[in-house]
């Protein structure tokens, strides 16, 4: 990685609109949509001290709370929401630093202040995460995983790319495990990569999923898993105590008489098998998730993206229509659903796919705009295990805020009216956004 000079870091902070020397900024006049589901409140000021929200008060009281020397930023007419969270991204499957930084830049200038990276080369992810945390690159904060799966999975080309130079399945961030694995040691080594969570991916039985989950929790790590791990069923995954499951269509395998034995040999799912009301097996699964507080990272967008790939081999195992239906059923049952995408819009699009995900939830899965906002903020923070740090606009939490020109509760498409992002107290004005170039995207 090339060295970044102190001058370059200072220039980045200045161009991002760093807070004044006093460290206190008053964002006044916005309508607050705080991420809790509470009704919007008009004419409030958000007082930010360094990287934290000092308070949210009536405009007339802001100066007293902030004290002398504070900078006031007039945000009258805008709508202030918590910073957005994409709970399913991949920034380093085949590491490309220039490409990753360009897409991360688009995220933060679009209001995204945190992402969950769901498997890749932890060597690069650690570097990107550090750069994001200390303002060396314009980026959301990155929370990433160390992946565990059965030995059969590590023929997958993605694991080879993410372990380049070493043997996939034999590195701390891409670990093949079985019944003989010393889980205490394997998870300790995974924790040493600075991962936030263990991702349980594929080709593991239910008892081993449970053993990994219990040991990871003992060592202070979250556990994020595919909804079906093959042969572990969705119910076995949830009952193992994982914190988050990914890919709503994988829940459909709960209705199979026998679970497919391997991830790469799973059959497709037929829409016709899910006509009418929710299947009893799924109703029981969703009730279990609701009772346990398991978050579902539905990833509707990726099902849409898969069907747009011509002559895909293998073909998509699930249609977008079915994914939307299952997400609606889970939502109605009370399951917490976050806004993960598992893919992104083309490099030349102005906004990332999280906005498409929110629109899919509202337009096809029964969410209100307010519920979609919660999915992208409060529930997203819970999916990372950081609900005490961000996800809602509250005093004491990180100053992660997105200001919109138009009310997203009137139309979810208004999410694409970003005026400014604040991440850890640093402002990124949308007007200053430099779009991804062909060189950064690797198309020139």
pLDDT classification of 392: cutoffs 50, 70, 90 = very high
Distance CA 374, CA 380 (A): 8
Cβ–Cβ under 8 Å, residues 423 and 400: yes
The end-to-end CA distance of the chain, in Å, is 22
Chain centroid to CA 75 = 27
Quote the pLDDT of residue 224.
98
Quote the pLDDT of residue 306.
86
pLDDT digits (tens, 9 = 90+) for 228-271: 999 999 999 999 999 999 999 999 999 999 999 999 999 999 99
Distance CA 2, CA 226 (A): 36
Q: Tell me which residue has tokens 């799912």.
A: 269
Cβ–Cβ under 8 Å, residues 141 and 114: yes
Quote the pLDDT of residue 315.
78
Which has the closest alpha carbon to 113: 78, 86, 137? 86
pLDDT classification of 310: cutoffs 50, 70, 90 = confident
Which has the closest alpha carbon to 212: 177, 247, 250, 246? 177
Domains, the chain, ranges and CATH? Answer: 6-81+396-432 (2.30.40.10), 84-384 (3.20.20.140)
Chain centroid to CA 344 = 12
pLDDT digits (tens, 9 = 90+) for 57-113: 999 999 999 999 999 999 999 999 999 999 999 999 999 999 999 999 999 999 999
Beta-bridge partners for 25: 48, 71
Distances in whole angstroms, Cα of residue 358 to Cα of each of 83, 243, 409: 14, 22, 12
Token pair in block for residue 171:
């590195």
pTM flag (> 0.75): yes
Quote the pLDDT of residue 58.
96
- Give the mean pLDDT of 412-435: 98
Distances in whole angstroms, Cα of residue 97 to Cα of each of 103, 234, 341: 10, 35, 21
Token pair in block for residue 165:
């130079």
Cβ atoms within 10 Å of 178's Cβ, excluding its own: 12
C-alpha dihedral (61, 64, 67, 68), degrees to nearest 10: 100
């Amino acid at each position: 990685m090339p060295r970044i000079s102190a001058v370059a870091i200072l220039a980045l902070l200045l161009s991002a609109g760093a807070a004044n020397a006093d460290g206190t900024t008053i964002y006044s006049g916005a309508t607050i949509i705080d991420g809790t589901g509470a009704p919007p409140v008009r004419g409030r000021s958000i007082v930010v001290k360094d990287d934290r929200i000092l308070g949210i008060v009536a405009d007339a009281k802001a100066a007293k709370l902030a004290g002398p020397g504070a900078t006031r930023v007039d945000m009258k007419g805008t709508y202030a929401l918590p910073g957005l969270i994409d709970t399913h991204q991949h920034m380093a499957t085949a590491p490309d630093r220039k490409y990753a930084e360009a897409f991360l830049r688009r995220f933060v200038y679009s209001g995204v202040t945190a992402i969950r990276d769901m498997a890749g080369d932890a060597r690069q992810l650690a570097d990107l995460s550090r750069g994001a945390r200390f303002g060396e690159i314009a980026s959301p904060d990155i929370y990433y995983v160390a992946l565990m799966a059965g030995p059969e999975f590590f023929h997958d080309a993605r694991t080879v790319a993410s372990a380049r130079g070493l043997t996939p399945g034999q590195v701390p961030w891409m670990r093949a495990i079985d019944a003989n694995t010393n889980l205490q040691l394997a998870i300790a080594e995974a924790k040493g990569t600075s991962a936030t969570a263990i991702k349980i991916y594929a080709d593991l039985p239910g008892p081993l999923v449970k053993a990994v989950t219990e040991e990871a929790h003992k060592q202070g790590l979250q556990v994020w898993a595919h909804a079906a791990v093959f042969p572990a069923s969705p119910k076995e995954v949830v009952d193992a105590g994982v914190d988050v499951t990914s890919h709503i269509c994988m829940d459909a395998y709960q209705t199979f008489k026998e679970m497919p034995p391997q991830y790469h040999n799973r059959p497709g799912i037929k829409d016709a098998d899910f006509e009418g009301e929710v299947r009893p097996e799924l109703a029981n699964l969703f009730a279990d998730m609701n009772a346990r507080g398991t978050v579902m990272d539905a990833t509707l967008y990726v099902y849409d993206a898969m069907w747009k790939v011509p002559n895909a081999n293998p073909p998509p195992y699930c249609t977008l229509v079915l994914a939307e239906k299952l997400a609606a059923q889970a939502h109605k049952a009370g399951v917490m659903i976050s806004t993960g995408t598992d893919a992104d819009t083309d490099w030349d699009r102005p906004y990332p796919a999280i906005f498409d995900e929110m629109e899919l939830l509202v337009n096809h899965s029964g969410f209100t705009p307010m519920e979609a906002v919660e999915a992208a903020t409060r529930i997203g923070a819970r999916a990372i295990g950081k609900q005490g740090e961000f996800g809602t606009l509250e005093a004491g939490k990180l100053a992660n805020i997105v200001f919109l020109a138009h009310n997203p509760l009137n139309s979810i498409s208004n999410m694409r009216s970003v005026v400014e992002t604040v991440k850890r107290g640093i402002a990124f004005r949308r007007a200053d956004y430099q779009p991804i170039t062909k060189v950064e995207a690797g198309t020139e």
